Amino acid sequence: MRVCENCGARFRGNPETCPLDGGVLVELPDPLLGRTIAGRFVIAERIGAGGMGIVYRARHEVVGRDVAIKFLSPDLAFEPANRTRFLREARAANRINHEHIIDITDFGETDDGLVYLVMEFLDGVPLNVEIAKGPIAVQRAMRIALQITQAMARAHEQHVVHRDLKPDNIYLLGGYQGDFVKILDFGLAHMRGELRVTATGAIFGTPEYISPEQARGAPIGPGADLYSLGVVLFEMLTGVLPFQGSTPDLILKHLRELPRAPSYHEPTLPAEIDDLVLRLLAKDPTDRYGSAYELADAIQVWLEENRSSLSSVIPLEVPPADDEGEPTQDTMTALELVARWRERVRVLRELVPRAHPEGDAPQWLTDSLAVLAEDVDALDLLRVDLLTRVTVASSHQEEIRDAQIRIGHALDQLGADATRLGRELADARERVEEARARIAQVMDPVVAAWAKIPAWSAGREPDVGILSALQEAGALASIRLDAERVLRDLGPRIRELDHEHTDLRFQMDQLKGRLGGLSAVSEVDLDDLRSEAGDLDRRLQDALDEVVRRASPVVKHFMGFPHLRDEVRAAHSA
């Protein structure tokens, strides 16, 4: 795409001169700048690059909101596995649908093969930037960890494991009371039920944060994310990593070496924080917290017990999007161009009597201006069609999103309740097993002790031997009776807990089904919107190109009048 040095107008193809004002056309530094994606996102500026792609800021043509668009690097796009892995991020984020996980609003592939994700634009800083400033205060670190844990609880409930949790992938949004966490980059996430796109035994993750089971190339589950979160929390609290060294050294240390307690680096940290972090960093996943729900519960208990009047509250809602921001300079959407062309045609028509005061304007000029006016009317109809289609679809997407958030919050609450019930049920069953073991343990000793008691006649004073035998038998009988009482009391309670737990899990499955249904509806709607909006945008762009072509001789005609040149240029640079 080329841009005029004078008026800033952009043109497809390889023209050398601006047909509007004769200015020199130069190549844009980035061919994606100014391009419209999916019929409604106009690319404004490049803002970053990562291992798999490049990220741009773009503007939604209709709602006026900034978004981020990530494109898969062209040198990776030819490999199907890379495309699958790249788009996995969208499917994973949409399946989870949590306020602390970046919202991906669209994804797909352009006609010329560019694979992209459209996501919310984040105004904040990565967690690694905050950590680089030094250790984070314990209460702030725990509030950040709680939000990460809540997001992971939802992800794990939806059978999604992140596999690359690290400070670079955790964003702290600004402009809000307290830190509002957003987790990024689910490109390495694993979802139950998907086909493997990598070789068995492949190691994924970042060496500094990788779990022992990931380091071994073994199958992983939610515990891997909990381990990585433990490393992140350790680093937040101390400013250093639990293990350091080259990549091979790091992997070996994660596998074999026990970490020091965080308080070794920061002596003021309380013992319960040491215990929490070291439990997360256990080598065996079964020695970590049983679930992210359980960890979230532990963090919330600690925060409640250590509440400070100076500490800010945990934000409960997403910071509002800045829909009032100014669009990036040089970002001109097709919708805006339609309005500009209506004004340009009006100005050109007013110049006719000034260029030809004797009424001798050539017929071709009058005819061309009339056709241009009709073309602009046709452009306006396309503009209205595009606006209407995108507005209706965007409204429907917002309704789906709101429903997903409500269902998600209900799922989180049920998940936390189910986890607490599960722990109580496990404790009760453990006590029952212990009681049964005690009964089995004292059965033979009770019989043996009873056999030691000789018969004696009524009224006869028992001697010391009889009393000792009675004492032994009584003690053993007491153990047996206490164990029987545990079985009697806990039996009904276990059945009650089991019923409640089963009911909660049933409700959770129902909610997950509804979330899945909404996600499917959303994806179908997006497919339709992407197709229709893309088609309308292409027609609009083609029509704009035709207007530029028709306007070129008209503009050149008026530029032949020196006293009108400034007004012509002003009309086309406005």
Cα distances from 402 to residues 119, 294, 322, 527, in angstroms, run 17, 27, 18, 20
Q: Is 337 in contact with 330 (CB distance < 8 Å)?
A: no
| Residue 560 DSSP code | T
- And the tokens for 572? 């086309």
How would you classify the pairing of strands 2-4 and 190-191? unpaired
Q: Is 28 helix (H, G, I), strand (E, B) or coil?
A: coil
User: Which residue, chain included where needed, has tokens 């997950």?
Assistant: 512
562 contact partners, CB below 8 Å, separation of at least 6? none
Give how far the C-alpha of residue 277 lies from the chain's centroid of Cα atoms, to the nearest Å: 24
Report whether 345 contacts 372 (CB < 8 A).
yes
Asked whether the whole model's pTM tops 0.95, one would answer: no
> What is the side-by-side order of every strand in the sheet holding 36-37?
36-37, 41-49, 53-60, 66-72, 115-120, 104-109
pLDDT value for 194: 44
The predicted structure's pLDDT at residue 14: 67
The number of beta carbons lying within 10 Å of the beta carbon of residue 114 is: 17
Q: What is the pLDDT of residues 359-382, one digit of tens each?
A: 889 999 999 999 999 998 888 888
In this predicted structure, what is the pLDDT of residue 91? 75
Q: How many residues does the chain have?
A: 574
3 state SS of 324: coil
d(CA 341, CA 380): 10
**And the tokens for 514?**
């509804």
Cα 405 from chain centre: 13
In this structure, are residues 156 and 149 in contact, taking their beta carbons and an 8 Å threshold? no
CB-CB contact of 432 with 486 (8 Å) = yes
Mean pLDDT by 10 residues, the chain (574 residues): 69 67 75 83 86 86 84 83 78 81 86 87 92 96 96 91 91 81 76 43 73 90 96 97 93 94 96 97 96 95 80 54 43 66 88 91 92 89 81 80 86 89 89 90 84 65 77 87 90 90 89 83 77 78 81 87 85 66
Judge contact between 58 and 41, C-beta under 8 A.
yes
Phi-psi map region of 459: left, alpha, beta (phi>0 left; psi -120 to 50 alpha): left
Burial, 183: exposed, middle or buried (Cβ in 10 Å; 0-12, 13-18, 19+)?
buried
DSSP E strands: which ranges in 141-275? 160-161, 170-173, 180-183, 190-191
Planar angle of CA 285, 291, 293, nearest 5 degrees = 160
Neighbours of 134 (CB within 10 A): 8
Q: What was the pLDDT predicted at 327?
A: 38
Residue linked to tokens 């806990």: 490
Nearest to 153 by CA among 284, 294, 279: 294
Q: What is the H or E stretch that residue 303 is in?
A: helix 292-305
Residue 68 dihedral angles phi and psi, to the nearest 5°: -110, 135
Using CA atoms, how far residue 389 sits from 394, 529, 533, in Å, is 8, 8, 7
Give the pairing type, strands 190-191 and 160-161.
Answer: antiparallel
Alpha carbons 198 and 85: distance in angstroms, whole number: 9
Selecting among 103, 106, 164, 297, the annotated active-site residue is: 164
Burial class (CB in 10 A: 0-12, 13-18, 19+), 362: exposed
Helices and strands counted in the chain (H then E): 14, 14
- Max CA separation in the chain (angstroms): 148
The confidence score (pLDDT) of residue 329 equals 37
Q: How far is CA 102 from the centre of its chain?
A: 3
Q: Please, which residues bridge with residue 57 across strands?
A: 45, 68
Residue type (1 letter), 498: D
Q: Rounded to whole angstroms, how far apart are CA atoms 533 and 539?
A: 10
CA gap 126, 273 in Å, rounded: 24
- Collapsing DSSP to helix, strand or coil, 194 comes out as coil
Task: Please report the pLDDT score of residue 569 as a whole number.
Answer: 78
Quick check: 281 and 242 in contact, CB under 8 A?
Answer: yes
Q: Is 164 a catalytic residue?
A: yes
Helix, coil or strand: residue 58: strand
**123 contacts 322 by C-beta, under 8 angstroms:** yes
DSSP class of 35 = -
The answer to whether 62 and 75 are in contact (CB under 8 A) is no
Return d(Cα 461, Cα 309) in angstroms, integer: 71
Domains of the chain, each with CATH number or no CATH: 126-305 (1.10.510.10), 341-562 (1.20.1270)
> Measuring CA to CA, which residue among 165, 138, 133 is closest to residue 152?
165
